Structure 1
């Protein structure tokens, strides 16, 4: 099972993914004002490629945005492609 934890700072934050307590990946973001954030990088540890780690971190970001009334600007190629593929996630886009 993939566990995702959010670390949110004043200017930057990230979503960290863990599998069996081991770091599996990280998605970083930068705040762009009070109501939107930019997903700028997604990285999955090589041992966990193909296991849906990136998707779980993206879903955590989308759930956070929905819950807090925020919008997402996906600059990271992975996030951008994921949003283009899944219309159900596009409600949080700027």
Structure 2
């Protein structure tokens, strides 16, 4: 799997993690409900990223941010929820 450079944009009510490569972008978006709870809304990974681990890298970045910043994640996004279920060691980051 390739190493991914992940950029985070964090605003007052929304945020995202993104990976850019060759003019395309994979992203995981979230909504901020309270300082201690965010909702993972959507993950989008272009076909050109398939098989590179980009989606997993985005969720790993979300989990790391939740742990570092002290918030919990509600996994509304089906991809985030499915990935969470395959990683029980992340239980502390999700509600």
* Pairwise same-fold verdict (TM > 0.5): yes
SS at match of 1:51: coil
In 1, Cα distance between equivalents of 2:51 and 2:25? 11
Question: Which protein is richer in strand relative to its size?
Answer: 1
Q: Which residue number in structure 2 is paired with residue 74 of structure 1?
A: 75
Q: 1:27 touches 1:41 (CA, 8 Å); kept in 2? A: yes
- Matched positions, count: 93
Unaligned runs of 5+ in 2: none
TM superposition shift of 1:24: 3.5
Aligned alpha-carbon RMSD (Å):
1.2
Residue 3 of structure 1 aligns with which residue? 5
Deviation at 1:22, TM superposition (A): 4.2
Alpha-carbon distance, 1:33 to partner:
1.1
Q: CA deviation at 1:32?
A: 1.3
Within the alignment, does 1:12 sit opposite 2:14 as a pair? yes
- After TM superposition, the runs of 4+ consecutive aligned structure 1 residues lying more than 2 A away are 21-24
TM-score (norm 1): 0.92
